[in-house]
A and B are shown apart, each in its own frame.
Chain A
Amino acid sequence: MKRLALVLAVLAVAGSANAATFSYRPPGELVTGSGKGRVDTKVYAPGIRFPIESAPAYLNSQVWGHGGSSGPGGSQCDVANFSYPWHDNYCESRSWTMPLCPSGTGHQGQDIRAANCTRGVHKAVAVDDGTVTNIGTYSVYLTRADGTRFDYLHMEKVAVKVGQKVTRGTLMGYVSNQFGGTPTTVHLHFNMQQNVAGTGVVYVPPYLSLIQSYQKLPGVLPADAGVDAVVVDGSKDTSVADAADDTSLEEDAPPIGIPDAEEEDVGSASTPADAPSDEGGCGCRTAPGQHSGAGLGLGFLALLLSVRRRR
């Protein structure tokens, strides 16, 4: 029994580390039943900053996740919504015209959850230098000098003004559930729009740009990741053809981790990941990376008790 307890304790340590390790499902792989995604490994906005100030953050579907109208039930605050791996939801089933989606319709951007489901505490920041060209009831548009537009939806406490020029990392507002009087789930809906030659102004896939930028946030990568771990390759047009044959896109493929090297400077005003979880009345639960430490502590305590009783 003692050996079994030791094995379990070791497993707990390993499991704890894994639960907090960044990983993602391949681009274009949507939640089963939520439509057909765009298999596209191009980074449309290379070098942007991640739009939420600090990790962790979780990319996954609002509609097909817990608490969503087509989800498995439960609360939007379900721990499963706040865990890796990430899931693409560009082109998720919608009736809206989207020329880059396989079906011709779909979701225009990517849903991003912050560290937990508390609204109004997680900072959304400028992904690049640009001009705030629009603030609506629940939208803020940031337009870069090259015309690429980044849309931030559902924020509260918007911290910028129309016409304001901002620099990368500037506070834009706080992740929330604003949606024209009828609240949505607490998340940042993030779009990228470009004028694509031959097609016109369209929403382009943001998923890989977000993955690349996320890896530069402090704490996302293991400290010893090293150069070998960098697999976002900017050297060749490697991917579009390769991706079509990529077996990792199969349903049972393992999630992918693609660390990068440099960390993003987020300054000193980071939002604590352990912000009160019950604010906003969401009855939140913490994410795996946050509760596993307590679980481990209890596990070891139980183990010690077990050993002492045996003696």
Chain B
Amino acid sequence: MRFEHVLSIATVCLAVGCKSRESVPSGSGTQTANVTVETKIQPVQFPAPATIDTGTRARLPKDEQAKIPTSTVPVLVPKDDALLAVSTLMIEDVWTAFHAQANDITVHVAGTRLAHEHPEIPPSPGQIPIRSGKGRVTVNEGIRQATFEENGVSYAVDVECAKHDDTRCATDAFVIELTNGLVYVGGGGS
């Protein structure tokens, strides 16, 4: 076989890919349940105003304190001074989120009263004791997350460590401890 023939075949292989590869689309598709996802607003029970941890609330930045009464869910925050000092509260119609980054960890606490209804997903509540009920702990690429429901609100608490070898993200213990220590600082007009 002449050189140019070999070259021709080799370059065609380069173009089409001679190594084993999946075949190309058939042109047919799959039917998907691309329906509008139904949602519902869960009724929220706010704790009594007397249970507000006023001391912790006072350690939040002033601007963040001012946002608390507008929250439509009970606002839960950690008591850690370093985190409180640099925290940000974000409040939307159906959810409130807390963010803070200090001491090589990032903490995100979000509570929502809106639930997405996916009837094909059988109910599967968490089984781990968290706060006054049951919840769940998972890991997302090293980020520990605890989830639980309280007062009609679904919460998720994320702890991300800046360094891989940080023992706080090596097990569930720290995120559970932090979640159990969250305190109520207001919401719903209070």
Q: Which residues of A contact B (CB under 8 A)?
A: 1, 5, 8-9, 11-12, 14-16, 18-19, 21-23, 25-26, 40-46, 80, 83-85, 94-100, 108-109, 131, 133-139, 141, 143, 145-149, 151, 153-154, 162-163, 179-182, 189, 191, 193-204, 208, 212, 229, 231-234, 236-240, 242-243, 246, 248, 254-259, 288, 291-292, 294-296, 298-299, 301-303, 305-306, 309
Q: A146, B94: Cβ atoms under 8 Å?
A: yes
- Choose among A16, A45, A98, A240 the residue that contacts B16 (Cβ–Cβ < 8 A): A16
B71 at the interface (CB under 8 A from A): no
A132 to B6, CA, bound (A): 56
Residue on B nearest A83 in the bound complex, by CB: B21
Cα A8 to Cα B124 in complex, Å, equals: 56
A303→B34 contact, CB < 8 A: no
Q: What distance in Å separates the Cβ of A12 from its nearest Cβ neighbour in chain B? A: 4
Question: Nearest Cβ in chain A — how far from B101, in angstroms?
Answer: 7
Q: Would A208 and B32 count as touching, CB distance under 8 A?
A: yes
The count of A-to-B residue pairs whose CB atoms sit within 8 angstroms is: 300
A136 to B88, CA, bound (A): 13
- Asked whether B125 is an interface residue with its Cβ less than 8 Å from the other chain, the reply is yes
Q: How far is the CA of A171 from the CA of B137 in the complex (A)?
A: 31
Is B164 in contact with chain A by the CB < 8 A criterion?
Answer: yes
Give residues in B with beta carbon < 8 Å to A: 2, 4-5, 7-9, 11-12, 14-17, 19, 21-37, 39-40, 88, 90, 92-95, 97, 99, 101, 106, 108, 110, 112, 114-118, 120-126, 135-143, 147-149, 154-156, 158, 160-164
Residues of chain A within 8 A (CB-CB) of B25 are: 21-23, 85, 254-257
CA distance A64 to B129 in the complex (A): 35
User: A167: shortest Cβ distance to chain B, in Å?
Assistant: 15
Is A234 a contact of B112 with CB atoms below 8 Å?
no
Interface residue from B30, B112, B139, B160 paired with A246 (Cβ < 8 Å): B30
Measured between beta carbons, the chain A residues less than 8 angstroms from B147 are 200-202
Residues on the A chain within 8 Å of B116, using CB: 44, 146, 148, 194-197, 204
Check B33 against A8 for contact (C-beta < 8 Å). no
Given contacts A179-B142, A180-B142, contact A14 B16 (CB under 8 A): yes
For B115, list chain A residues within 8 Å (CB).
Answer: 195-197
**Residue from B5, B39, B97, B114 within 8 A of A133 (CB atoms):** B97
- Of the candidates B7, B24, B30, which one forms a contact with A248 in the assembled complex, judged by CB atoms under 8 Å apart? B30
User: What is the interface of chain B mostly: helix, strand, loop, or mixed?
Assistant: mixed
A254, B138: Cβ atoms closer than 8 Å? no
Residue in chain B with minimal CB distance to A296: B15
In the complex the two chains form, is B30's CB within 8 Å of A9's CB? no
Does A134 contact B164, Cβ atoms closer than 8 Å?
A: no
Pick the contact of B164: A100, A182, A191 (CB < 8 A): A182
Q: Does A108 lie within 8 Å of B4, measured CB to CB?
A: no
User: Which residues of chain B have C-beta atoms less than 8 A from A43's C-beta?
Assistant: 32-34
Across the interface, do B162 and A137 meet the contact criterion of CB distance under 8 Å? yes
Q: Which of A22, A40, A189 has the most chain B CB within a 10 Å cutoff?
A: A40
Shortest Cβ distance from B34 into chain A, in angstroms? 4
The answer to whether A232 and B29 touch across the interface, beta carbons within 8 angstroms, is yes
Quick one: closest A residue to B136, CB to CB? Answer: A97
Whether the Cβ atoms of B12 and A11 lie closer than 8 Å is: yes
Our pick among A9, A200, A294, A296 for the contact of B149 (Cβ within 8 Å) is A200
Q: Which of B95, B120, B155 contacts A143 (CB 8 A)?
A: B95
Residues in chain A near residue B125, CB distance under 8 A: 198-200
Supposing A23-B24, A201-B154, A257-B27 touch, asked if A9 and B12 sit within 8 A by C-beta, the answer is yes
A-B residue pairs, 5 tightest by C-beta:
A15-B16, A231-B29, A198-B123, A257-B25, A295-B15
Complex contact B90–A163 (CB within 8 A) = yes
> A232 touches which one: B17, B34, B143 (CB < 8 A)?
B34
